[in-house]
Structure 1
Amino acid sequence: MIQRFASKVSIVALGVALAAGAAFTASFATNADAAAEAAKSSVSAVFKQMNVPVEGRFSRFNADVHFDPANAAASSAKLDVDVASFDLGSPDYNKEVAGDEWFDAAHFPHATFVSTQIKAGANGAFTVAGKLTIRGKTTDVVVPVTYRKDGANQVFDGALPIKRLAYGIGSGEWKDTSIVADDVQIKFHIVTAAH
């Protein structure tokens, strides 16, 4: 039961993570080097189950990212995540987390993030404000992101803390945060072709 629960939470966490943190993740889905860039990128969510860190990843998402480090204010990012693609390494766990107690992928198949403002900070740091929607619940989030050039690529890294229960992830008995924590850390490493 604990393992089953951990899987569910992982998917929830990752779903939020991908949706919230991956504003930059999807730019690789819109250019000719999509496959190579996707292979270099990752989005994960980390949470604690019985005080032990658990991490999971999403495998399918699409986005449209236009990023110019010299003109952050004119940059934008949109992301659409297939919540049923969350992978915990077990088909049974993955199916369970996509179920109605967690992501309810049958009714809410996509998690989305749409940027509303991107601001430049110091030393390659940026903040991306936007609307994150999971299970039909939309909240305002601000994602801290670091940026660097790597040859012909742009590389984005960041982490965003969220609360899974704010999105209704984990209903019924799964609302108990003493077993699966409410806190989720969304981590991402995104590689895209420079435009």
Structure 2
Amino acid sequence: MKPFRLLLLAPLCAATLAAAAPYKADVAHSNVTAVFKQMNVPVEARFKTFSASLDYDAAHPEAAKAQVEVDTRSLDLGDPEYNGEVAKKEWFNAAQFPKATFVSTSIKPAGAGKLAVSGKLTIKGKTADVSFPVTSKAEGGKPVFEGQLPIRRSAFNVGEGEWKDTGIVADEVVIKFRVSAAK
């Protein structure tokens, strides 16, 4: 009788393991941007290079884990000269800190299609605890996660020296993301 029960449970265990399989960002259908104001004019700049991995099961979102890495040298402000400037020491110091990272510490259901995400955000060697809402949905059989994370650039020493003054470039930055996940 015991071997028979194990045979019956095998497909259920396999389905559970498959549902919790890790996902990676489908970068062709995903994006990460930074939105800020320069001289009170809104600017949205895209990070061209990033990766995201996610262990996610829609039936058990509280067991999910997420990790994101963004190449700070890949911020595209639409002009090669500006792109070079933000990689310098005063801004991202990309030579010393080539990656910004987010690692989740908690993902909780927050209503239909909504998650409350908390974790550690590290930019330019400075780490802060952050929390933000995320919406989740399925598109073409793939999970898609969208959200916005407001931060203050000064908390991460982004904009040092003369750029510490927030009169030209505002302190408030919103990191917007859309991650289409694929196995």
Correspondence 1:53 to 2:45: no
Out of 140, 143, 160, which is 2:129 matched to?
Answer: 140
Equivalent residue for 2:146, pick from 157, 160, 169: 157
Normalised TM-score (structure 1): 0.79
SS of corresponding position for 1:28: strand
Q: Do residues 41 (structure 1) and 30 (structure 2) align?
A: yes
Could you say what secondary structure the match of 1:39 adopts? helix
Are 2:24 and 1:28 aligned?
yes
Equivalent position of 1:69 in the other structure: 58
The alpha-carbon deviation at position 72 of structure 1 amounts to 1.2
Match of 1:89 in 2: 78
Residue 69 (structure 1) shift = 1.7
Among candidates 88, 94, 109, match of residue 120 of structure 1: 109
State which of 143, 150, 162 in structure 2 corresponds to 1:173: 162
Unaligned regions of 5+ residues in structure 2, if any?
Answer: 1-21
Partner Cα distance (1:111, 1:45) in 2: 12
Structure 1 counterpart of 2:42, one-letter code: P
TM-score by length of 2: 0.84
The structure whose residues are more often strand, as a share, is: 2
Q: Using the alignment, how far apart are the partners of 2:124 and 2:132 within structure 1?
A: 20
Give how far 1:94 is off: 0.7
Residue 27 of structure 1: how far off its partner (Å): 4.2
Letter in 1 for 2:109: A
Larger radius of gyration: 2
The structure, 1 or 2, with the larger RCO (C-alpha pairs under 8 Å, 6+ apart) is 1
Q: 95, 101, 117: which one pairs with 1:106? A: 95
Amino acid at match of 1:97: V
Separation in 2, partners of 1:27, 1:184: 28
CA shift digits 1:79-111 (9 cap, x unpaired): 122111111121111111000000001111111
Whole-angstrom distance in 1 between the partners of 2:47 and 2:131: 21
Identity %: 56
Deviating beyond 4 angstroms after TM superposition, the runs of 4 or more aligned structure 1 residues are: none
Q: Distance in 1 between matches of 2:67 and 2:176?
A: 17
Bigger proportion of residues as helix: 1
CA RMSD of aligned residues (A): 1.5
Query: Residue 176 of structure 2 corresponds to which residue in structure 1?
Result: 187
Aligned residue for 2:19? Answer: none
Structure 1 alignment gaps of length 5 or more: 1-25, 30-36
